Amino acid sequence: MSKRIPLLGIAGLVAAAALMLVGGASGAAASKITVWTDKDRKAAVEKVVSAWASGKGLSVEVVEKDFGKIRDDLKTVQAESAPDVIIGAHDWTGQLAADGLVLPLFPSKATRAQFPAYALGAFSYGTAVKRLYGAPVVLENVGLVVNTKLAKVPTSFASFESQALAFKKRKSGNLALAIPQGAAGDAYHMYPFFSGLGGYVFGRNKAGNLDASDIGVANRTFLSNAPAIDRWNKSGFLNSKIDYGVAKDAFLKGKAAFWVTGPWESDTLKGSKLSFKIVQVPAIKFKAVPFLGVQGFMVTKFAATHGLESAAKDLVGSYMMRPAGQVALAAANGRFPANTVAGKSVKDPVLAQFGKAGAGGVPMPNIPQMSSVWSDLGGAWVKSTKGASATKARSAFSTAARNIANKIG
């Protein structure tokens, strides 16, 4: 997803020594940490990085980049103008690590303990040995937004479904559920219903690494539960003709009591004057957990080229992972911090509710093969929930799984 998304001890002495060794060869250039970040977080990044650098004799250059271009530009940039640190999405990790463009981090045990395992896992990659390649800073996921004047917050999926259908029947033009799909599909927003029926994208091997040969899009458990999708299609609970704009408009105008969206709509919700509460989609056959997007910072291979590897790793793998830095960086982007200590200090009630709605979520797979999944998985939902001309879900998802396997090879 491309939404708007984001104390030194011995390490300090090592960094200083490295700078002294490099100083004679590269002069002032070696004393400058260069960070690539996006417009939304530039001010916060400058503040955090400058605070870290002030006591180390380092200067800071924070370069504003289009978030969507950072990954590709890193592949072609010349060393002299390359960044030492970049902001990035966790699902870039596999490709960047495989290409040798980012360096592994080794935060302390105490630091790692302040993060959920899935947040660290999102930035971890390796076929034999998994290593951490990024410092998680913010978490992003969808939740179920309930208009509490139009419906009760459901405590079961049966209650959710029955309330939604009753509201749809109440007046022409009402939607049972405002969830975006549209012609191109939207596997991201639909993921809670996929996981709730036992679906998964990739399994894991014995070493705990994602296994692209284990495609769970049409696994036996999911297919046994797939008739629920056919029922949702027939009743109009799900309708793939609804795109993002239609879903948003329906909820804000009181034509839908339920909306599946994420924290990028926090300001919209606050300004809507609606009474609402945000929860996780109730469990179906299994917990209906959302996909998680995790954003954070990574140290590039160019930090080593510039003689700043130790310093850059201290900035990212230690300083940026502390609660204070996490709060500042997360607030700048309107997202929930990845650090659990920082999460407890979040005062924004909307952001806090979205954070809770992401509990137990599944990070979008960070291996390169994930690029072969999105269109077919989203397409299976479109084909199986488009009304009278829909394909049976069992067939739609089985076809999607075959297509994905052929693309991966």
Find the mean pLDDT for residues 332-342: 91
pTM passes above 0.75: yes
Find the mean pLDDT for residues 382-393: 98
Distance CA(182)–CA(33), nearest Å, equals: 44
- Which residue segments constitute the domains of the chain, with CATH numbers given? 10-140+292-357 (3.40.190.10), 143-289+373-408 (3.40.190.10)
Strand, helix or coil for residue 89: strand
Q: What is the pLDDT of residues 46-60, one digit of tens each?
A: 999 999 998 888 999
DSSP summary character for residue 216: -
Nearest CA among 173, 170, 177, 171 for reference residue 145: 177
Average pLDDT, the chain: 91
Q: What is the pLDDT of residues 131-154, one digit of tens each?
A: 999 999 999 999 999 999 999 999
The distance of Cα 262 from the centroid of its chain, to the nearest Å, equals 11
pLDDT at 223 over 80: yes
Q: What is the pLDDT of residue 67?
A: 95
Q: What is the pLDDT of residues 241-251, one digit of tens each?
A: 999 999 999 99
Distance CA(91)–CA(280), nearest Å, equals: 23
SS3 content of the chain, % helix, strand, coil (to 5): 50, 15, 35
The first and second tokens of residue 254, run together, are: 């009181």
DSSP summary character for residue 9: S
Cβ proximity of 92 and 304 under 8 Å: no
DSSP summary character for residue 240: T
Residue showing tokens 């370069």 = 63
Cβ proximity of 326 and 137 under 8 Å: yes
Pick the range with the lowest mean pLDDT from 124-128, 213-217, 364-368: 124-128
Q: What is the pLDDT of residues 5-39, one digit of tens each?
A: 333 343 343 344 444 434 433 344 458 999 999 99
Q: What is the pLDDT of residues 177-200, one digit of tens each?
A: 999 999 999 999 999 999 999 999
Q: What is the pLDDT of residue 208?
A: 83
- Give the C-alpha distances (Å, rounded to integers) separating 183 from 186, 217, 238, 390: 9, 20, 14, 13
Q: Identify the residue with better confidence: 30 or 300.
A: 300
Q: What is the pLDDT of residue 28?
A: 40
- Identify which of 20-34, 220-234, 314-328, 344-358 has the greatest average pLDDT: 220-234
